[in-house]
Structure 1
Amino acid sequence: MATIAIRPGDISTRTSRPDVWRAGAVVLIWMSSLLVIALWVSGGGVVLVLGFDAQTLTTLGRLCGLVSANLLLYQVLLMARVPLFERGFGREAITRMHRFVGFWSFWMLVAHIVLLVAGYAAAAEINPFAQLWGFVWDYPGMLLAAAGSLLILLVVITSVRRARRRLRYESWHLLHLYAYLGVGLALPHQLWTGADFLSSPPATAYWWTLWAIAAASVLCFRIAIPVLRSWQHAIRVTEVEADGARGVTVRMSGRGLDRIAQAGQFFVWRFVDGPGWTRGHPFSLSSAPTAEGLTISARFAGDGSRRLATLRPGTRVLLEGPYGHMTGDVRTRSKLLMIGAGAGVAPLVALLQAEPWDADDATLLTRDTIPADALRQAEISDLVARRGLRHLSLPGPRSPGGSAWLPATHRDWRGHDFIRHLVPDIAEYDTYVCGPDPWMAAVTRDLRAAGFSPTLIHTESFTI
């Protein structure tokens, strides 16, 4: 068994860089939000809202429009995967922010429309529906804004969890891209007729600059940089093999691939193998990256993962990323507890390959309903034999008891007791958890109940 000397400084100082990124992202959000409020106040918003008349409705409608525009900007930046936000918050936090900001921007947009229509209709003493019709047909850019609003409504409806579960990933991903078009169509009327956008040259310059940055971010981080990086590293498929009864592993070669990502991260992958190649799919690295190679592993769950099994050697690969914060950079302890279910085991294996740890100081729990489905078994066995990994497989149907993340064979165990029994020296461990969201939530609850500090529990979610 190999023993690796770990110096305290190798781990304890790793968190400084993420903290800097997070601080920068938070400062940018607050500065932008304060500027939006300042624009509304400078336009006389406070005075007008106290009149308690038609102007009150109109002014509140303007405020809702400013808030909605600002939140839509954040939506674009979150979808653009700007490094400042990716590295500052991490993919899991961005996923939560994406949903939160998306729904609030939509409801602020609805309030903006309703209040403006009611305010203008009250001032002109006409029917609100007549006023709405006049807005759409008589005001510059409003017909485009109406079309954009309908597209945004479509995206919101299909993003509701119940609707999302009924859609294939490929269909949902295509529909979600219409959010870009919806925001683009809503933009002209704000910059042509919006009082708060045109009230002063600084305000006009601010909003034009803000939207230009958002558009440039999409073009740069979603298109230009991924294409350039993929061309620079010349990534191609070299080998495809079965992994477990219902899984596949794809190995790729290229130039300087050890500099492209860290173990534990994921990319959005596009394999140029025929019609439909433009649809991107997120897969984590399942082995530590080397100078010549990248590896991903997936359980068959949809068209994207099944398509991996049909790839041929030589297929060109386009990648977008890397993303994710579940890396060694967040580690602060000398020991490792890895808990994975299904395909979530793959990034944990990559981390175990890349990270320093002494024999018996790393423990891996793997959870599969069907034992034959287990991924990365050869690599896990190698870590057990060569580096002294402690591996505990937990196969079978889930427990009917309180800790449903455990199998039925452990129904008499409470989850937090099981964890404390497995790793009694909890204060010495960082824990990495990867698997389906409800399963990860159950594991996390028991980890906290066992005494793990939230700062020592590292998870990654791919669900939006």
Structure 2
Amino acid sequence: MEQTVSMTAPARRARVRSRATRPGTGSRAVRAALVLGVVVVLGMWWLTVPAGFAATPANALTSVGELSGMVGGFLVCVQVLLIARVPWFENAVGLDRLVSWHRSLGASVLFLIIVHVLFLVFGGELADKNPPWDEFISILQSYPDMLTALVGTIAFLVVGLSSARLIRTKLSYEVWYWLHVTTYVSIFLTFLHQLSGGAHFVAQPINRVIWIALYLGTAAAVLTWRFILPTLDAWRGRMRVAAVVPESDGVNSVWLTGPRVQELGVRAGNFLLFRFLAWGHLGTAHPYSVSAVPADGYLRITVGEIGDHSRRLPALKPGSLVFAEGPFGRFTADRASRPHVVLIAGGAGIGPIRALAEELVRRGAQPVVLYRARSPRHLALLGELQAMPGVTVVPLVGRRSELGYDPLDVEPLRHLIPDLHNWEAFICGPEGMGERAEASLRALRMPKRFIHREELSMS
């Protein structure tokens, strides 16, 4: 279906009340705390390193291996703390940026772990005149807790590789989730050898106390804010499935109700982690965006069938118990700081976009919704959007192979809204669609700070 709609900005200036989204003092304070932590680790290493730590190539390699292990051990704790739901971190930085930092640190941690192992092996090889494999076996046999450390290191590497985009796309959410749960076990397994065999800890009581306090503090934060408090909140705010409604091919809405649903503090664009107490759903909690904010004791999520968990949602029975953790996310209307807003949706991304459109209208805006779909039968919630006063909906229907172009490329978007550089955009949909839309908006000179993408993840 060829799209021939042409549009300019609405004449009326929307009264959008918002705040800027640039990093503030809280974000800088967290960064400063992380840098200070690395400096402390470097100090622990420097104050206890032997005088001849770089006297020979073997000593230099071994020293670098020990340092990379200490910094890597510290950054592992930082990675866990960033997504441990620690209130100070979330209030200072925001969950979406914490998740981004967590992912970015992952590559650094993997690199440091690999450097730690290789440099210790190569340093020992030069010192003992052993082949690398023999030196590796010698290290395993000579130092305490090395076998458990090896198991933990292998588990770390598997988890890290599972987060690579190429591999992640081939894994179900359930497999990826449980792989990441093993990270806690891996941390415990690798922690033991640091104290029992680490040159900077064995005879250094101050370093040992600092390191034990770091790991115990991290464990306490995870237990408190990632497990105990969320479990208590989920029990108090437990809900039940009211109905499951098909919206289009492969997209279903789940209506939920509960006595405290109004107290969740859910805003348009938020997502929650839902755990349904039903067969096929008990193993994991999944992030789903809200497509209708709580009202009259009900809220709604709209979900595309893209995995085992989401494909089982239509089989949920009314009355099934639901635990929800959240809300999360900053994909909310109060981020809008320009008078003209375009909302770009695809697939199940129409859920949060629909809620955002309603909220923006309530704030005085006249949003334009560009709705990307493969065919008319995939246009879920289209009728609701078209019935909203003040919302302009432009369906962009058809496969690229059929249309001969991508409706979210630069020229089609320029044709739809000629002055897009003066607008603000919210994008939610499949990753490829989102990247394409963002690239086109940037090419049309829309500043990056006015382009908002949904993030439905805790790790």
Please state whether the residue corresponding to 2:295 is helix, strand or coil: coil
Please give the residue correspondences for 1:318-357 in structure 2 after superposition, counting only pairs within 5 Å.
318-356=323-361
- Structure 2 counterpart of 1:195: 199
- Structure 2 match to 1:422: 416
Equivalent position of 1:408 in the other structure: 403
CA contact 2:159–2:179 (8 Å) conserved in 1:
yes
Give the distance between the partners of 1:367 and 1:301, measured in 2 at CA: 17
The equivalences for 1:153-302 within 5 A come to 153-198=157-202, 200-254=204-258, 255-274=260-279, 276-290=281-295, 292-302=297-307
Equivalent residue, structure 2, for 1:448: 442
d(CA) in 1 for partners of 2:220 and 2:411? 51
Tell me the residue number matched to 2:397: 395
Q: Deviations over 1:14-34 (max 9, x none)?
A: 648x63442333222222222
Q: Deviations over 1:202-226 (max 9, x none)?
A: 4323222221222123222332122
1:458 aligns with 2:455: no
Cα 1:104/1:147, change in 2 over 3 Å = same
Q: Secondary structure at the match of 2:338?
A: coil
Task: In structure 2, give the amino acid aligned to 1:396.
Answer: G
- 1:166-216 CA-to-partner distances (Å, cap 9, x unmatched) read 222222222222222112210111123323345644432322222122212
Distance across 2 between alignment mates of 1:414 and 1:237: 36
The whole-number CA distance in structure 1 between the counterparts of 2:169 and 2:275 is 23
Identity of paired residues, percent?
Answer: 30
- Match of 1:22, SS? helix
Task: Report whether the alignment pairs 1:39 with 2:38.
Answer: no
Secondary structure of 2:288's match? strand
- Is 1:149–2:157 an aligned residue pair? no
Residue identity opposite 1:58 in structure 2:
T
Moved more, 90-99 or 247-256: 90-99
Q: Residue type of the partner of 1:216?
A: A
Report the 3-state secondary structure (helix = DSSP H, G, I; strand = E; otherwise coil) of the residue aligned with 1:216: helix
AA aligned to 2:141 is W
Query: SS at 1:196's partner residue?
Result: coil
Offset at 1:313?
1.7
**Alpha-carbon distance in 1 for matches of 2:421, 2:281:** 48
Alignment correspondent of 1:381: 386
Q: Deviation at 1:121?
A: 4.2
Q: CA offsets per residue over residues 293-333 of structure 1, 9 Å max, x none?
A: 22111111221111111111221111233222211232212
Q: Distance in 2 between matches of 1:360 and 1:265?
A: 19
Alpha-carbon distance change, 276 to 233 in structure 1, aligned in 2, over 3 angstroms: closer
Secondary structure of the residue that 2:323 maps to in structure 1?
A: strand
Task: Write the distance in 1 (CA, Å) between the matches of 2:37 and 2:314.
Answer: 46
Residue 317 of structure 1 aligns with an amino acid whose one-letter code is V
1:68-120 CA-to-partner distances (Å, cap 9, x unmatched) read: 11222233224534455555555554554444322331231122122223323
Q: Secondary structure at the match of 1:366?
A: strand
CA distance in 2, matches of 1:72, 1:358: 42
Provide the rounded CA distance (Å) in 2 between the counterparts of 1:414 and 1:267. Answer: 29
Q: Which stretch has the larger CA shift, 154-163 or 28-37?
A: 154-163
Q: 1:196 to 1:31 in 2, by over 3 A?
A: same
How many corresponding residue pairs? 446
Query: Which moves more between the two structures, 111-120 or 420-429?
Result: 420-429
Give unpaired runs (5+ residues) of structure 2: 1-11
1:66 corresponds to which of 51, 63, 70: 70
Q: Equivalent of 1:437, from 418, 431, 436?
A: 431
Checking the alignment, whether the CA contact within 8 Å between 1:427 and 1:452 is kept in structure 2 is yes
Give, in whole Å, the separation in 2 of the partners of 1:365 and 1:88.
33
Q: Flag the structure with more relative contact order, 1 or 2, with Cα contacts below 8 A and sequence separation at least 6.
A: 2
TM-score, normalised to structure 1, is 0.87
Q: Which of the two has greater helix per residue?
A: 1
Larger CA deviation: 188-197 vs 350-359: 350-359
Tell me: CA distance 1:263–1:28, structure 2 relative to 1, closer, same or farther (3 Å). Answer: farther
Is the 1:25–1:84 Cα contact (8 Å) retained in structure 2? Answer: no
Q: Which residue matches 2:4?
A: none
Alignment RMSD: 2.8
